[in-house]
Structure 1
Amino acid sequence: MIKTFAICATASLVFAGAAFAQDSYDLRFQSSDTSGSEAFKVQQRFAENLSEASDGRINIEVLPVGSIVEYNETLDAVGAGILDGHITDSSYFTGKDPAFALIGNPVGAYSSAEELRAFFDDGGGTDLYNEIIEPYGVHFIGPAAQTPESVPSKVAITSVEDLKGVKMRAPEGMVQSAFADAGASPVNLPQSEIFTSLDKGVISAADATTLATNHSMGLHDVAKNPIYPGFHSLPLNEVSITLATWESMSEEDRQLVTEAVRGYADDLAATMRERDEAVAEELRNSDDVTLHSWSEDEKRKFRQIAQDQWEAYADRSENARKVYEALTSYLTSQDLL
């Protein structure tokens, strides 16, 4: 009887240990941001906050871009369990399905991170994105976004008409097509070549990133007519996890993770907005840099051009059509279209 009791007790401890192990998570998420960037620092705070909120049971190591796989390969890596999650721009996966372009960066759709998040929180975007992404073995936890991207320019661009003939850097895909339709002459250039290309006059403007990040890259030293606030590009910064890991979590842990992602989204938007506003104030007091803010009428004109691109992408897949219909329906209901 004593031996039997000892065996049963040992078995109970083994099962209890297994249950505890299942309730603890040590996860690796790869970011699309570099280790020294402000966004990456916010992502590290997100991981620290989640660890604290879960009493150390849910730990995420945030890795910078390219640590394990290339920036556009994380979807497959998360689905395969090579990574446990990613924090990235969803439009990087457009090659797999045009729906990723429409849900990740519908050009001209949003003027703020709050507008983007509202589509996912209130407009059905989160459920729709999970319908698209879960077949890849990935679960979308929630949306985040920085500030709308600025356009550093050597020439004053205050309207759609001013874009005509301007040679500008723009990435392939929807952004490039929208600027081309607006009359600009977009070219492909890696971000690392933007400064030199502006400096040498190869291009006159660039679709780059946020005002503060552009400034840190020295772009306003050579492109002294930036468009700010930005309005044309506001990419989704998605936080997603391996589907199997998500399904293994208790409802309580899922809620902890979801709340931590919401906190991350708040922190990211506030941090990047504060940096942009500080740089904008510095540039307003500068003698040789002029900020150009577009009127609502001109923004509307550009968005009407961009919407032609939305519809073109919608025709390319069933999922893209679903995103297009959900997005346009929601924006219309909010008087934002």
Structure 2
Amino acid sequence: MNRRAAIKSTLVAASGLAAAATLPRPSIAQAAPKISWRMTSSFPKALDTIFGAATTMANYVREATDGNFEIQLFASSELVPGLQAADAVTAGTVEACHTACYYYWGKDPTWALATAVPFMFNARQMNAWMYHGGGNDLLAEFFATQNCYGLACGNTGAQMGGWFRKEINTVADLQGVKMRIGGFTGKIVEKLGVIPQQIAAGEIYQALEKGAIDAAEWVGPYDDDKLGFAKVAPYYYYPGFWDGGPTLHSLVNLAKWNDLPKSYQSILRAACEAANGNMLANYDQKNPTALRRLVAGGAQLRPFSQEILSACFEAANATYAEINASNAGFKKIFDSQTVFRNDAYLWAQVSEYTFDTFMMTQQRRGKL
């Protein structure tokens, strides 16, 4: 190689090094920045299944980002009262919350459609509508009007109908019953004479014990056993027709969501989806044992009569018609859910229902 070629080679190599030094560095630090959020829960830590869904989600996020994206959880009232969690996210007081959206139906009944409304979906159907039936897109439009971005993060499965201090056999027996009942179901049962009360989980037992309320619903056997309701209201009714497949959400302040790197958005979305399924499985594993324990301890298990269920069904339809007439946002989502529900139950009664019914018959015959 002559001298001129050697100089040229050296200059090319040097310019290459200089260019490399000035290029943007695709470093891990840039791709995975350090982010720390506070998430307030609507639930106490003692309810490990519900509060635990957010814990599961936060753990997945932390592990998937090697600790770079940290979501610190706070139980109900540690930062914000449980029933004001979404308000704190909207205002930007906290970055995120874990809550049941129907707690905020008083601001707009559309909130309730993100969790559960009476006589709508079971858990699988709710997930199918959200993930593959356009539900998440419709909910995102509504959440944006509340300065939030929402991710499904937990489902209890069909809930129980609650604890009553006296037997409820007919619609007439509901007259004047003061009942803690979540969501906007209170607006529906109010038509049948119930006096609805919205009370946070940690305050329900005391209200029942003191006689401030006559009945209360929460979730199901595992949580209800922890909260001790059987000691003060022995009649345990089912089903919770207002909570066929209630979905919890991780709500994120919209600006904070938009500021997240796309990789973190994907990780958070996947973590919430994983926690959503995990929570349902957790309840399905825990509830059978808890129900046996409650009945052995004296709880009186009772089904709502067909008269009561039918009256509530008609009251629900009347309530939906009233809201649809005045709230276009509610109607848009409700119409989507109604169409999806009709097909979902048509399919459910063909194979799933037939299989489940046969197996339950074998159980009653002592063959399982």
> Aligned equivalents of 2:111 and 2:320: distance in 1?
12
Q: Which amino acid aligns with 1:283?
A: L
Is residue 213 of structure 1 aligned with residue 223 of structure 2? yes
Q: How does 1:27-66 map to 2 (within 5 A)?
A: 27-38=37-48, 39-66=50-77
User: 2:58, 2:97 → 1: CA distance?
Assistant: 12
Specify whether residues 163 and 238 from structure 1 end up closer, same or farther in structure 2 by C-alpha distance, changes over 3 A only.
farther
Is 1:271 the counterpart of 2:282? The answer is yes
Does the 8 A contact of 1:168 with 1:207 survive in 2? no
Tell me how far 1:260 sits from its aligned partner. Answer: 0.7
- 5 Å matches for 1:40-189? 40-110=51-121, 112-147=122-157, 148-157=159-168, 161=171, 163-165=173-175, 167-171=177-181, 174-181=184-191, 183-188=192-197
Task: Work out the CA distance in 1 between the residues paired with 2:240 and 2:86.
Answer: 28
Cα shift readout 1:141-168 (whole Å, capped 9, x = no counterpart): 235322424411233336x636443613
Given the superposition, is the C-alpha separation of residues 303 and 116 from structure 1 closer, same or farther in structure 2, using an over 3 Å criterion?
farther
- For the Cα contact (< 8 Å) 2:53–2:276, is it kept in 1? no
- Measured on the aligned residues, the alpha-carbon RMSD in Å equals 3.5
Partner of 1:282: 293
SS in structure 1 opposite 2:302? coil
Partners of 1:166 and 1:204 within 8 A in 2: no
Match of 1:319 in 2: 329
How many residues align? The count is: 330
Measure, in 2, the Cα distance between the counterparts of 1:40 and 1:178: 28
Q: Deviation at 1:127? A: 0.5
Equivalent in the alignment of 1:4 = none
User: CA 1:296–1:88 in structure 2 vs 1: closer, same or farther (change >3 Å)?
Assistant: same
CA gap of 1:199–1:48, structure 2 versus 1, over 3 A, is: closer
SS of equivalent residue, structure 2 residue 276: helix
In structure 2, the residue corresponding to 1:68 is in which secondary structure? coil
State the distance in 2 between where 1:307 and 1:279 align.
Answer: 34
Change (3 A) 1:11 1:253: same
Identity of aligned residues (%): 20
For 2:203 and 2:272, the matched residues in 1 are separated by 33
Checking the alignment, whether the CA contact within 8 Å between 1:117 and 1:144 is kept in structure 2 is no
Contact 1:30 1:65 in 2 (8 A): yes
- 3-state DSSP class of the match of 2:70? strand
Q: Partner amino acid for 1:289?
A: A
Instruction: Compute the TM-score of the two structures, normalised by the length of structure 1.
Output: 0.82
Amino acid at match of 1:305: A
Q: Partners in 1 of 2:319 and 2:153 — Cα distance?
A: 23
1:72–1:45 distance in 2 versus 1, CA, 3 Å: same
CA, structure 1 residues 19+203, in 2 after alignment: closer, same or farther (shift >3 Å)? closer
Aligned to 2:39, the other structure's residue is in SS state: strand
Instruction: Sort the Cα spacing of 1:80 and 1:9 in 2 relative to 1 into closer, same or farther, 3 A.
Output: farther
Shift of 1:223: 1.6
1:266 positional shift: 1.3
TM-score normalised by the chain length of structure 2: 0.75
Instruction: Give the distance between the partners of 1:68 and 1:285, measured in 2 at CA.
Output: 38
Quick one: structure 1 residues 175 and 256, their matched pair in 2 at CA, closer, same or farther if it must change by over 3 Å? same
Q: CA deviation at 1:36?
A: 2.7
Change (3 A) 1:11 1:171: farther
